A and B are shown apart, each in its own frame.
Chain A
Amino acid sequence: GAGVSQSPRYKVAKRGQDVALRCDPISGHVSLFWYQQALGQGPEFLTYFQNEAQLDKSGLPSDRFFAERPEGSVSTLKIQRTQQEDSAVYLCASGTSGGFTDTQYFGPGTRLTVL
């Protein structure tokens, strides 16, 4: 079946622009995670949904970052007034039953470059 997909795969933004990154999880998966992966680093947790409920957003670096999953399937990560330090690969993952002990299935990521 289809895996986790993310769009766009690449995004270039000028500093100060708003961007929206989309994640389509595996159909039926309850949990959805967003991570930020800077160059040469491991992924860093941003936020976690169980269905439409955002259960943990402690990893969001600032109030410029906002994530939603209104119908419990597709999720959007929005970054307002982008800064150069926001340049990274943004990874989305989904899981079957919820929680961090569950196996997470990752998408290919969106590479964001802020000029």
Chain B
Amino acid sequence: AQSVTQLGSHVSVSEGALVLLRCNYSSSVPPYLFWYVQYPNQGLQLLLKYTSAATLVKGINGFEAEFKKSETSFHLTKPSAHMSDAAEYFCAVSDRMGGGNQFYFGTGTSLTVIP
């Protein structure tokens, strides 16, 4: 079974600073990887996903993530934080092996942007 770990349940950055949200997965075979964002009182929205094409994936709102097999990581970055980026971010993994059809989310990272 897959699992995903998000280091840091809360991250604070200053407006204009680099955003780095960490995600590590456990799998012997590279899975599909996703980042979702959840704004207050709204549903989760897909930021980006990795499906074994380019290892650097660009998403919406200026976010990107890099798949690093050697580190089993899929960290989310944004060069310059905006106030509107304040939200909960979830990393997720989809099992592509053994007929598994499950989708695993991390516990989430709450991003605060300080003016």
Contacts and interface: CB of A to CB of B under 8 A. Distances in A.
A42 B36 CA distance: 11
**Pairs of residues from A and B, 4 with the lowest C-beta to C-beta distance, nearest first:** A42-B105, A106-B43, A100-B94, A106-B44
Contacts, number: 59
Interface of B: 32, 36, 41-46, 49, 51, 90, 92, 94-96, 101-108
A41 B22 CA distance: 16
Interface centre among A43, A44, A59, A100 (most CB of B within 10 A): A100
Contacts of A18: none
Interface centre among B43, B45, B107 (most CB of A within 10 A): B43
Contacts of A100: 32, 94-95, 101-103
A14 to B, nearest CB: 25
B32 A101 contact: yes
B105 A3 contact: no
A56 B98 CA distance: 14
A55 B101 contact: yes
